[in-house]
Structure 1
């Protein structure tokens, strides 16, 4: 019996122990579940907070995203335009290169043509004519071409152009200038020392040409002009290269009565000549205007005398009319009114009024002076300095 009790007691104790252990395990499991719940709640809160921050960030970054999209589109358009522009530029550079090569060939051909003396002379004459036309001058009016003359050495000379100056004067222009060495110096693959040597030879050739022009003495064949000749160099670069090689070339040419000019200097010189022609025309017009003024003044004086005579005639007519009205009023109409008073007639006679306005006297001193020189001067003492008196006859 005691054994069963102890067994039952052991069973009860075991059950109690098992229950206690189960409760402990349950409590531990509950605590674990609560802890996991709290952790999950915190995780959910963190996720919600993170999601809200992400949404705020996305809202803030939305304009930036749109701007990036627009920038990307604009960059695409720019890239497309850049490709098109590079294509156009490549095509344009190709045409420029082709035209440059063509220009180089044309320049080489022109340089080769200018080595001929006849072509070089024709080109100089063409350049000279262009400058003359640009200055406003007309052929056979302001200048003559290829005019022949005989110099002091009994030698026939024929300058390219003779420019006419006011007063019957003339200015001689020669357009033949050497340029072979200058053209040789323009080669691209030429060393600097050889180019400098060619430019010095170009200056020497121009100096020799100046001496030859001075020896022709054009001014002796055209004596109505200044004692000098204008040497026209068709290119300012040619003249500048020669002067750079020989700085004293200008002074030595002037000492030999030769003036070296390029297109620019010649244009300024011809414009000065054209201005001189304008001043000469203005002087002629002024002299003609002076003669016309004197003639007009003389005619005004004659007209003043006629006007004064007409005024005197009008004054006499007014006085005669007023005298007639006075006589009619005092002599004739008195008897006529008497007949009306006696009722012989019934109609009233018209009342005649004298003329109370006389002719206006001359007041301009020029007309008065012209009238005083007339033979009828004594008849002008009728009050020219003041209005004529009004006569009321009757």
Structure 2
């Protein structure tokens, strides 16, 4: 009986233990479930944070790639400009060689002129009397002085043209050396000013004009002669047009630069942290550029009344990144603008284009100088031809004068000359008021003696 009691008691104790263990296990499992749910929520939160970080990392990676692409484009521009500099340097060397050869030819011509003039003058001086030489020296000097002045002016123009070529080459080399630094400076200024001008439309317009003005100053073009700002023109229908900048080109042509494109959507995009909002702002940015292209095309700047414009207009965007981002979002944007005779440019490629225009103007000036030199050389040769004709005429007159002189002297001193007749008249008692020249009398006597001797010889 006692044994049975202890057995039942043991069974009850084991059952109580199992029930307690089960209850404790259920509680532990519930706690584990709650902990597991909390851990799952924390994992989801960490995954969301990781996703945001990954999105930001992709954005930063994209910005890095864009910046690297811009840098590569600028390096390509610099390499292109360096190649153009080498070409211009070679052209400049050819011009210098040509000018040097022309100068040597001119010096050789001067030497020949001088030698021929000297020989001609010596022949004239040797053949004529001192009095006749003194009378005609002034006339020869009057003929030679204009030619001497023309040769001096010609030499001066050649030296000035050569000096200008050297200066232009040096200036172009200096500008190319600083071009990379200037492009980086413009990009940095554009980035800083973009942050500072958020939301101020009037200030943005002034800032865009300031960037354009700075690029014009760096281009080397002369304001008022090679470009003008805010000049008014009359359209085909009599309407008033006022482009931001007009760049004049040789041959009475010009090109237009417009800088009124709106960058409000781009600025909002830069300062937005919401990806969806950024996508919407990018579309607005591209659409704003397209709308401006359409409006600019309707103005028909290339057909301004009384002018000879190129067939396209430059649409200037002062922020390089805004220009590149728009082309990245809309691959057809550049072609769309080109079909409407509009070319979109940023600070770097606009500066390179204007540098090229400045170089064209310099070559135009050099070509005009060369033409003027050729015209002066032609005038000099014409003057020399006239001089030769006059010298020939002068020689003919001198020969005729010599012949008349000799004929006259024969009349005075030859056979049956007037002097002997005058002497015989004097022996008859006629006294002249003035005595005859002794030299002529002596020459007449010598001639008479020679005639007598010849007569005796012939008689014998």
TM-score, normalised with respect to structure 1: 0.50
TM-score, normalised with respect to structure 2: 0.43
Whose Rg is larger?
1
Question: Which protein has greater RCO, CA pairs closer than 8 Å, 6+ apart?
Answer: 2
